Amino acid sequence: MIILLKAYFKKQERRVLPTVKSEVNFDFNIARETTTAKMDFTPFIKDVVAKYGDDAFEFLGLTGFNNNAANVRNFLKTDGLEFAKGINKTTKTRISNVIADGVDAGESIFQIKNRVRDVYKQASSSRAMTIARTEVSRASTFATVEGYKQSKVVKGKEWLTEFDELTCSACSSMHGEVVAIDKSFSVGGDPPLHPRCRCLVLSVLKESDIPTSVKPSEGQINKELDKLYEKAPIVKKEIDKVAKSIGKRYKGSVVDITGLKGRKRSLEKVINEFNGNTSKLTDIARNTLVIRDTRNIDKAFKILTSKKGSIGRTFLAKNNSLGYSGRLIKYKTSAGLGEIQLNNPAMIYAKEIHAKRILGDKLFNEVRKVVKLNPGKGHAFYEKARNMNRGLAKRKIEKESIKYYNIIRNRWNTHLAI
């Protein structure tokens, strides 16, 4: 779709640029441009719907997804190509703004046209990527859910959120929510929730797995938190014990034993991020296991995730827009889940603003001497990026963060190999 978008914007630039004068008025008819966009993108969106509808059927062991069903036709007429109007409104607004800026600056028509060219240059790069990812997600999610509906065997749908450093609180709060197949999620619809949203929808085959209760009140949430905090000391004792045990196996390991998460913060997290679902709160009891040699982290991860009921998550640098890498284990104890962060000292040094407290003076100073960069900048990059919309400025932050993490990771690994 990116190729289609680039071609579309290039053709539009050829139509619009000759009409630009040294005034704000120029020839850009949104209705005409939207019609052109729909003609260009309809075949592609149809193909996406057909593919993901077939995939949903295949996953369920079925064949015969109806790509001409009424719901599919309605989607293609409305939501499926609604973005065509939106992208043209945005483009026209941006062109109007840069022309006005050029006029105010007393620029020549040549300079003003260069400003317009820059609008289309961005449209063909970062904007095209955002639009493509978002609209393919929208079409594929529609087709998946439509496939579930046509199957007659799927009773409900579950929201699946991809977790990493860029996961927003809105998507995080939706993770695991289950509703009937013909109902809307609590946010009013299916993914995507926002541009570049990576959330998916899973099938629920049993009606008994579909909750019928409404979002709990704060009083109800507090009662559930009371139960979790009663068990939390047991969870904490067990995850600290296993982390210390594994840490002893590997030379140079450090276990950061923090206290329980504050009750106020837990309540805020359940309400704002988990939509009132306390079962998603697994970090009341948590710790950090730092293993000096990166090669031993895989071994530790395998041990921790081998415990029945434990869930491991790996963050790969190549899949993370900020370049962070690490492991997180939701470890199953006799009293519930607790979280163990697993990483090497260099990544803790790069990511955590309290790295010195976690690593201790000796290990902290060793990492600083090896990597020759200031600590904790990963957290600063994350805070900047998560509050920015997609665009050149955000991409610049991401590139700086990737470079920072890569330098630290490579220098530490080289140090270990010496």
Query: Residue 275's domain is classified under what CATH number?
Result: 3.30.460.10
Q: How many domains does the chain have?
A: 3
- Read off the pLDDT of each residue in 29-49 and give the average, rounded to a whole number: 87
Angle at 161 between CA 90 and CA 130, to 5 degrees: 20
Distance CA 4, CA 96 (A): 24
The per-residue b/e assignment along 80-103, b for 16 or more CB within 10 angstroms, e otherwise, is bbebbbebbeebbebbeebbeebe
Distance CA 274, CA 255 (A): 28
pLDDT category of residue 321 using cuts at 50, 70 and 90 = confident
Share of the chain above pLDDT 90, in %: 39
CB atoms within 10 A of CB 44: 17
- Determine phi and psi for 68, rounding to 5 degrees: -115, 15
* pLDDT above 70 (res 207): yes
The answer to which of 208-217, 310-319, 320-329 has the lowest mean pLDDT is: 208-217
User: Which of 167, 191, 212 is where one domain is finished?
Assistant: 212
275 close to 188: Cβ distance less than 8 angstroms? no
The predicted pLDDT at position 22 comes to 58
The predicted pLDDT at position 230 comes to 96
The predicted pLDDT at position 390 comes to 67
Distance CA 391, CA 305 (A): 38
The predicted pLDDT at position 80 comes to 66
Distance CA 86, CA 393 (A): 22
223 shares a domain with 203:
no
254 shares a domain with 380:
yes
- Read off the pLDDT of each residue in 156-168 and give the average, rounded to a whole number: 83
- Read off the pLDDT of each residue in 371-378 and give the average, rounded to a whole number: 93
- Read off the pLDDT of each residue in 120-134 and give the average, rounded to a whole number: 84
371 shares a domain with 235:
yes
The predicted pLDDT at position 332 comes to 95
The predicted pLDDT at position 213 comes to 59
Q: Of 164-168, 217-221, 348-352, 384-388, give the range with the top mean pLDDT.
A: 348-352
Q: What are 276-297's pLDDT values in tens digits?
A: 888 889 999 999 999 988 789 9
Spatial strand order of the sheet with 326-333 comes to 254-257, 286-290, 336-343, 326-333, 311-315
Angle between helices 297-305 and 218-249 (to 10 degrees): 130
Quick one: tokens of 97? 């703004």
The predicted pLDDT at position 214 comes to 62
- pTM exceeds 0.85: no
Pairing of strands 311-315, 326-333: antiparallel
193 shares a domain with 137:
no
The per-residue b/e assignment along 354-368, b for 16 or more CB within 10 angstroms, e otherwise, is ebbebbeeebbebbb
- Read off the pLDDT of each residue in 75-103 and give the average, rounded to a whole number: 82
349 shares a domain with 328:
yes
- Read off the pLDDT of each residue in 302-316 and give the average, rounded to a whole number: 89
122 close to 392: Cβ distance less than 8 angstroms? yes
143 shares a domain with 174:
no
80 shares a domain with 138:
yes
Nearest to 342 by CA among 329, 333, 354: 329
* pLDDT above 80 (res 23): no
192 shares a domain with 134:
no
251 shares a domain with 226:
yes
The predicted pLDDT at position 367 comes to 94
Range of the structural domain that residue 96 is part of? 2-153
The predicted pLDDT at position 29 comes to 81
195 shares a domain with 260:
no
Q: Of 7-21, 317-331, 353-367, give the range with the top mean pLDDT.
A: 353-367
* pLDDT above 70 (res 212): no
pLDDT category of residue 172 using cuts at 50, 70 and 90 = confident
Question: For the chain, what percentages of helix, strand and coil (3-state, to nearest 5) are there?
Answer: 60, 10, 30
pLDDT category of residue 300 using cuts at 50, 70 and 90 = very high
The predicted pLDDT at position 233 comes to 96
- Read off the pLDDT of each residue in 182-207 and give the average, rounded to a whole number: 88
Quick one: tokens of 257? 């034993």
- Read off the pLDDT of each residue in 243-250 and give the average, rounded to a whole number: 91
177 shares a domain with 263:
no
What single letter denotes the amino acid at residue 344? N
Quick one: tokens of 330? 């939701």
Q: Which residue do the tokens 């579309």 mark?
A: 8
The predicted pLDDT at position 411 comes to 94
The predicted pLDDT at position 126 comes to 80
Quick one: tokens of 337? 């889940």
Nearest to 169 by CA among 247, 272, 30: 272
158 shares a domain with 146:
no
